[in-house]
Amino acid sequence: MTPLATALGEIRHSIRDAQSHSGLAALEITLVAASKTQPVALLEEAIRLGVTNFGENKVQEAEAKWPVLKATHPHVRLHLIGPLQSNKAADAVALFDVIETIDREKIADAVAAECTRLGRQVECYIQVNTGEEPQKGGVLPSEVGVLLAYCQSAGLRVTGLMCIPPAEANPAPHFALLRKLADGLGLTQLSMGMSQDYPDAIRLGATAVRIGTRLFGARPA
Ligand SMILES: *Cc1c(COP(=O)(O)O)cnc(C)c1O
């Protein structure tokens, strides 16, 4: 077994294990392989091993790696998990299937306009800055409802919420808050949990976990 095959087996096992402790065992948990800086050969191996969802942080990097891979493997779903600038909205809508980082009206407008122009419907999540960190992307928890209504009136298909808890904090209260916000708004998808904390996230209701280093090993510099 290759290191990737071993890691994937362990992650799938621990996802099932966490799920069996969540009371949500019927839900399907999506493993989003966070593949920033990883080479195409490793992504191809992951696809061969059955990984179907990948997350990239930068539109430009994704454009260098993914068009050929996606053409060869049309079932793969690509998630944008890094910040989006409105001047990259056209490229993002053309390449990504899920945009997890909608966090302001200007981006919602830009993505909605490109969906219309390209005749392409992408799934969107709203990123929530659960730690209210000034430098971090995401809408404040108190403003999610207003942004959701704005997105819906702009015609965006918003299905869930995403968060990245503060690096040094216990993530559990952040996951619980995201779950509560989603429940209150009738959203079903919750993208939360990374290599260090995905079992906790699943126990608290994650439907998608974004895992990089635990799957692929340390990121190449
Ligand atoms: C890189 C990244 C991840 C994965 O982080 P790991 O700790 O390597 O699992 C998840 N989410 C986002 C938004 C990221 O940028």
DSSP-derived secondary structure for 111-164? HHHHHHHHT---EEEEEE-TT--TTS-SB-GGGHHHHHHHHHHTT-EEEEEEE-
Pick out the chain residues at pLDDT < 70: 25-26
Is the torsion defined by CA of 126, 130, 135, 136 positive or negative? negative
- Cα 194 to its chain centre, rounded Å, is 10
**Which pTM value belongs to this model?**
0.97
| Cα distance between the two ends of the chain | 25
CA–centroid distance, residue 194 to ligand 1 (Å) = 6
Ligand 1 atom nearest to CA at 195: 9
At residue 25, the pLDDT reads 67
Radius of gyration for the chain, computed over Cα atoms and rounded to the nearest angstrom: 17
Provide the pLDDT for residue 26.
67
Distance CA 115, CA 127 (A): 19
Residue 119 region by backbone torsions, left for phi larger than 0, else alpha for psi between -120 and 50, else beta: left
Residue to substitute in 8, 194, 198 for testing ligand 1 pocket (most ligand atoms within 8 angstroms of CB)? 194
Identify the residues whose C-beta falls under 6 Å from ligand 1.
34, 36, 57, 81-82, 164, 194-195, 210-214
Quick check: 110 and 124 in contact, CB under 8 A? no
- Cα 13 to Cα 115: distance, rounded to the nearest angstrom: 37
Supply the pLDDT for residue 23. 72
- Given the CA of residue 213, which atom of ligand 1 is nearest to it? 8
**Residue carrying structure tokens 């993914």:** 66
* CA 100 – ligand 1 centroid, Å: 13
Task: Give, in order, the Cα–Cα distances in Å from 160 to each of 25, 130, 153.
Answer: 19, 15, 16
Distance 118 CA to ligand 1 centre (A): 29
Q: What is the pLDDT of residue 21?
A: 78
Residue 192 CA to ligand 1 center (angstroms) comes to 10
Expressed in angstroms and rounded, the spacing between residue 34 Cα and the centre of ligand 1 is 6
